[in-house]
Chains A and B, each alone.
Chain A
């Protein structure tokens, strides 16, 4: 069920009352409200709010973010994502400023939060094709490497200082072998889906045999890729979509970012379809002091394709079961063979066979 905020005057009235109270204003009014195209997991609204009275008086360009009906397993809810945005901001990551969280589903029908609207475009296929976006591409890749390094600077030991009393117990813990954790999780998901997927099993077995203990466990974004950051004509403006953040191996985010399935057709630009790996790695290494481990990145690129294939199967299953009929979810099921081909190619390459 979609919430049609634009057509629901009573929900809008409850929303402005919530905002006025949260912002310490005498009165709040909605100046404009329009849906933003989100992912399969959230609904986003661009909302301009006029505040009268209080320290925040004036007009505010905001984004209202709420759950969509098709949440997939392992994604955080809005309250957790709101806490993650605050954490990321404290860690110096470029994120939209989170303003007010409303956990009460009675206000608009679901929990939501409001954040400042950051200008820019996220659509991956546009960023990859339109070179007028994002500024010079090597600089953009280097900057993304720096941002990722800032996320990875948050460790289980360092989080208390940044968290300001907020609990982050909701972050999935990692063992000292996060690759093996994933193999077990994805097998569990596949078993729940029913149909056999031998090519994915091929990748999972390789991941099992080639898993290694991680030297360090850090905060990982888990969806750090082209399509999930905003750029304007000059460069990066924000890192978005924190709903999968977890504890894990830092190289897993690097592998996800570079994985062929997130290059939007620009396969030869191996860093997210925007640049070569070198500037991205350079930015990451300089800001983190942690050398990129190429074998680790290769491992996590195999894991990336397995993970995306499992998520795609889960999304298709939502359509097939009738939980949420959607052409987009249905078509997502048909990208699986493409991901499987890349898994076979990567495993062949790792075993010294020409792909």
Chain B
């Protein structure tokens, strides 16, 4: 797929038109809807611009936490499987004791949340 502009760039341009041209024409009680549409487009544009990079990174970080886990060829299924394992480990108290495991899990959670925030709301990271 080489046609240009790419999807992310199109979304960004569409969003600019919405904010600069259309939003001022909306009645005041519909302004919030316009802003929500713009926000949804911004999130989608960031995700589209990033492609599979975030998923690949997530898999890499999770594989570091679970080195013995079998590799799943499905890029989307793998992080879900390992995150489910992590979630039950945490719930079962297996990451409670101060030490290497707890620190590694803490570090993973922060990186994972930060990566998702970069897509959903990068302003929250400032």
Contacts and interface: CB of A to CB of B under 8 A. Distances in A.
B64 interface: no
B57 interface: no
A204 interface: yes
B86 to A, nearest CB: 5
A24 B80 CA distance: 61
B87 interface: yes
A337 to B, nearest CB: 4
B91 A344 contact: no
B40 A340 contact: no
B90 A344 contact: no
Interface size class on chain A is: 20 to 34
A198 B80 contact: no
Interface stretch (B1-9, B13-21, B66-74, B114-122): B114-122
A195 interface: yes
Given A196-B83, A327-B33, A201 B39 contact: no
A341 B91 CA distance: 18
A327 B124 contact: no
Contact of B109 (A204, A335, A344): A344
Interface string A30-54: 0000000100000000000000000
Contacts of A195: 80
A337 B116 contact: yes
B84 interface: yes
Contacts of A199: 109, 112-113
B93 interface: yes
B30 to A, nearest CB: 11
A205 interface: yes
Among B33, B37, B90, B95, find the residue whose CB has the most chain A CB atoms closer than 10 A: B90
At the interface, is chain A mostly helix, strand, loop or mixed?
helix
A211 to B, nearest CB: 14
A330 interface: yes
A205 B95 CA distance: 10
Among A196, A327, A331, A336, find the residue whose CB has the most chain B CB atoms closer than 10 A: A196
B96 interface: yes
A197 interface: yes
Contacts of A338: 117, 120-121, 124
Contacts of A327: 33, 36-37, 40
Interface in A59-84: none
Contact of A340 (B80, B86, B106, B113): B113
Interface in B78-126: 80, 83-84, 86-87, 90-91, 93, 95-96, 105-106, 109-110, 112-114, 116-117, 120-121, 124
A26 interface: no
Contacts of B95: 202, 205
A149 B36 CA distance: 36
Contact of A330 (B40, B91, B112): B40
Given A202-B109, A344-B110, A197 B87 contact: yes
B34 to A, nearest CB: 11
Nearest to A347: B106
B120 A337 contact: yes
B43 interface: yes
A346 to B, nearest CB: 13
A59 B116 CA distance: 53
A178 B36 CA distance: 36
Among A202, A209, A340, A348, find the residue whose CB has the most chain B CB atoms closer than 10 A: A202
Given A198-B112, A201-B90, A331-B40, 14 more contacts: A195-B80, A196-B86, A197-B87, A198-B86, A198-B109, A199-B109, A199-B112, A199-B113, A201-B87, A202-B95, A202-B105, A202-B106, A327-B36, A334-B43
26 contacts: A195-B80, A196-B80, A196-B86, A198-B86, A198-B87, A198-B112, A199-B112, A199-B113, A202-B90, A205-B90, A205-B96, A209-B96, A327-B36, A327-B37, A327-B40, A330-B40, A334-B120, A335-B120, A337-B116, A338-B120, A338-B124, A340-B109, A341-B117, A341-B124, A344-B110, A344-B113
Interface of A: 37, 187, 195-199, 201-202, 204-205, 209, 327-328, 330-331, 334-338, 340-341, 344, 348
